[in-house]
């Protein structure tokens, strides 16, 4: 029971909101009845009690106190750190229901924030993808006391862990064998990025930016030397740039800590779907990264112009294109996409795969008379809705949207949309 005066409301929950909380209407007390409330770790359809954290003019942020009427889709979360760790939002919801809720959330965001609906509808892509052991890049934190794990949901304190159920087996095996050595590298390092590339583990240690002698001290530590012996693909970063070993020794290796798709199985489905949407020989791939989309398109016979700002990704992309034998059909440009579209004319087919901030400036420069179709890949529905609205104002229409559950157990999803000249 909740004592009086604890600022508790009863909420009937209706849907999933961007950010991972569930949203619904307050049922009591009477003076707040009907006000929107956001409650993390609840399930749509539930009636809950929640304690008010912030009472804004138009909504309430609250924390779950008790579930008065539990949903049939609520399940026990398998990770003991769930709720404290800031990584996952939805382990308490059955996986298939997570995907339906995400799809509904995207549809609602498009309608309310973008004012658009897909003419050919919105559907889930990859409904049978696994919900765990999929994430092939993890960034762990370590403090001066040697506490190792992930940040708490609110704040910068560390939830200690040595195993993550959404990480791949290769990452968890590396942690099990080397976590004591990683702790021994404190206080010189603050972040450990572990990436699984086809079962081969690459590791980057980020030294403290305020400690100018961190690398010198680290190189003398027995724990670091043993870690280096065990992990031949180890490197050290300072301000996210590699400083050890020499660059020549890392040639041909993936640039650890830079963007790459995190879910291999979901990425394969996404690439297959994108390929089915491209109907022209020439394609412009904007925000191309290391060629995740460009290289398969070039291998399928398309002529691809790839534009990417990050020089490390461009360099690695060129190496991969050469290894794949598609360098004659794939040209990389190392510059911002905003500058490129202001100086060059994109092809009739354009692929957009921007970061969370979206691609508004690029969208505002696309011409529907020349660029007839845009395949937009988005990891953040709110900016996607904004950008689609901008494209629709420039003579385009939203034809189809596929919601790909690239990040199970979290509220995040990947969208693949076809936007065509009206």
At 219 the pLDDT is: 93
Instruction: Say yes or no: 272 and 126 in one domain.
Output: yes
Supply the residues annotated as catalytic.
Answer: 379
At 421 the pLDDT is: 97
- Judged against a pLDDT cut of 80, whether residue 331 lies above it is answered with yes
pLDDT band at 252 (very low <50, low <70, confident <90, very high): low
Instruction: Say yes or no: 213 and 306 in one domain.
Output: no
1 within a domain of the structure (yes/no): no
User: Which tens digit of pLDDT belongs to each residue from 350-378?
Assistant: 999 999 999 999 999 999 999 999 999 99
CA-to-CA distance for 278 and 420, rounded, in angstroms? 11
- Domain ranges, residue 231: 137-250
Instruction: Say yes or no: 46 and 171 in one domain.
Output: no
CA atoms within 13 A on the CB side of 99: 18
Which CATH number is 326's domain given?
3.40.50.150
Mean pLDDT of 255-272: 90
At 247 the pLDDT is: 63
81 within a domain of the structure (yes/no): no
Instruction: Say yes or no: 178 and 124 in one domain.
Output: no
Among 112-126, 365-379, 390-404, the least confident range: 112-126
Mean pLDDT of 339-351: 97
80 within a domain of the structure (yes/no): no
**Do 64 and 13 form a contact (C-beta atoms < 8 A)?**
no
378 within a domain of the structure (yes/no): yes
Among 193-202, 205-214, 246-255, the least confident range: 246-255
Instruction: Say yes or no: 286 and 408 in one domain.
Output: yes
Instruction: Say yes or no: 115 and 36 in one domain.
Output: no
Instruction: Say yes or no: 417 and 303 in one domain.
Output: yes
At 210 the pLDDT is: 80
Residue after which a domain boundary falls, among 219, 250, 281:
250
240 within a domain of the structure (yes/no): yes
Residue after which a domain boundary falls, among 231, 250, 269:
250
Q: What is the mean pLDDT of the chain?
A: 94
At 257 the pLDDT is: 77
91 within a domain of the structure (yes/no): no
Instruction: Say yes or no: 308 and 339 in one domain.
Output: yes
85 within a domain of the structure (yes/no): no
**Do 218 and 184 form a contact (C-beta atoms < 8 A)?**
no
pLDDT band at 1 (very low <50, low <70, confident <90, very high): very low
Which CATH number is 22's domain given?
2.40.50.140
Domain count for the chain: 3
Among 8-17, 88-97, 110-119, the least confident range: 110-119
At 302 the pLDDT is: 98
State if pTM tops 0.85: yes
User: Which tens digit of pLDDT belongs to each residue from 43-81?
Assistant: 999 999 999 999 999 999 999 999 999 999 999 999 999
Instruction: Say yes or no: 243 and 308 in one domain.
Output: no
- Judged against a pLDDT cut of 70, whether residue 5 lies above it is answered with no
pLDDT band at 255 (very low <50, low <70, confident <90, very high): confident
- Judged against a pLDDT cut of 90, whether residue 249 lies above it is answered with no
**Do 184 and 221 form a contact (C-beta atoms < 8 A)?**
yes
Instruction: Say yes or no: 175 and 47 in one domain.
Output: no
Residue after which a domain boundary falls, among 182, 217, 250:
250
Percent of the chain at pLDDT > 90 equals: 86
pLDDT band at 3 (very low <50, low <70, confident <90, very high): very low
Among 194-208, 209-223, 243-257, 397-411, the least confident range: 243-257
Instruction: Say yes or no: 270 and 160 in one domain.
Output: no
Mean pLDDT of 260-277: 95
At 261 the pLDDT is: 85
Percent of the chain at pLDDT > 70 equals: 97
Q: Over the Cα atoms of the chain, what is R_g?
A: 23
* Closest to 422 in 3D by CA, of 372, 348, 363: 372
- Judged against a pLDDT cut of 90, whether residue 99 lies above it is answered with yes
Instruction: Say yes or no: 177 and 269 in one domain.
Output: no
Mean pLDDT of 199-215: 90
User: Is the model more confident about 110 or about 160?
Assistant: 160
179 within a domain of the structure (yes/no): yes
- Judged against a pLDDT cut of 90, whether residue 114 lies above it is answered with no
**Do 415 and 353 form a contact (C-beta atoms < 8 A)?**
no
- Judged against a pLDDT cut of 80, whether residue 6 lies above it is answered with no
């Amino acid at each position: 029971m909740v004592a009086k005066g604890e600022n508790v409301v009863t909420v009937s929950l209706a849907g999933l909101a961007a950010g991972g909380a569930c949203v619904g209407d307050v049922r009591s007390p009477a003076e707040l009845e009907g006000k929107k409330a956001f409650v993390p770790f609840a399930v749509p359809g539930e009636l809950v009690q929640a304690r008010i954290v912030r009472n804004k003019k138009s909504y309430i942020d609250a924390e779950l106190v008790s579930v008065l009427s539990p949903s049939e889709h609520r399940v026990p979360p398998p990770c003991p750190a769930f709720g404290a760790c800031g990584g996952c939002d939805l382990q308490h919801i059955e996986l298939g229901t997570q995907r339906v809720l995400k799809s509904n959330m995207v549809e609602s965001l498009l309608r309310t924030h973008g004012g658009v609906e897909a003419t050919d509808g919105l559907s889930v892509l990859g409904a049978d993808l696994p919900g765990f052991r999929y994430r092939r890049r993890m960034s762990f934190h370590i403090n001066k006391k040697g506490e190792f794990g992930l940040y708490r949901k609110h704040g910068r304190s560390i939830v200690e862990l040595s195993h993550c159920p959404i990480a791949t087996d290769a990452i968890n095996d590396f942690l099990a064998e080397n976590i004591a050595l990683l702790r021994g590298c404190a206080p010189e390092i603050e972040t450990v990025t572990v990436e699984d590339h086809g079962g081969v583990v690459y590791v980057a240690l980020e030294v403290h930016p305020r400690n100018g002698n961190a690398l010198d001290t680290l190189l003398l530590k027995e724990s670091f030397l043993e870690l280096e012996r065990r992990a031949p693909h180890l490197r050290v970063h300072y301000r996210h740039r590699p400083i050890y070993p020499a660059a020549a020794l890392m040639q041909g290796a993936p640039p650890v800590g830079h963007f790459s798709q995190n879910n291999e199985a979901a990425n394969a489905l996404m690439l297959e779907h994108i390929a089915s949407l491209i109907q022209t020989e020439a394609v412009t791939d904007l925000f191309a990264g290391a060629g995740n989309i460009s290289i398969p398109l070039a291998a399928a016979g398309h002529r691809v112009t790839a534009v990417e700002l990050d020089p490390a990704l461009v360099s690695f992309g060129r190496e991969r294109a050469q290894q794949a034998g598609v360098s004659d059909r794939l040209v990389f440009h190392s510059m911002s996409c905003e500058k490129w579209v202001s100086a060059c004319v994109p092809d009739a087919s354009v692929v957009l795969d921007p970061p969370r901030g979206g691609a508004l400036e690029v969208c505002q420069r696309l011409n529907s008379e020349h660029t007839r179709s845009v395949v937009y890949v988005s990891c953040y529905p709110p900016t996607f809705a904004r950008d689609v609205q901008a494209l629709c104002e420039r003579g385009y229409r939203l034809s189809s949207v596929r919601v790909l559950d690239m990040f199970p157990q979290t509220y995040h999803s990947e969208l693949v949309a076809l936007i065509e000249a009206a």
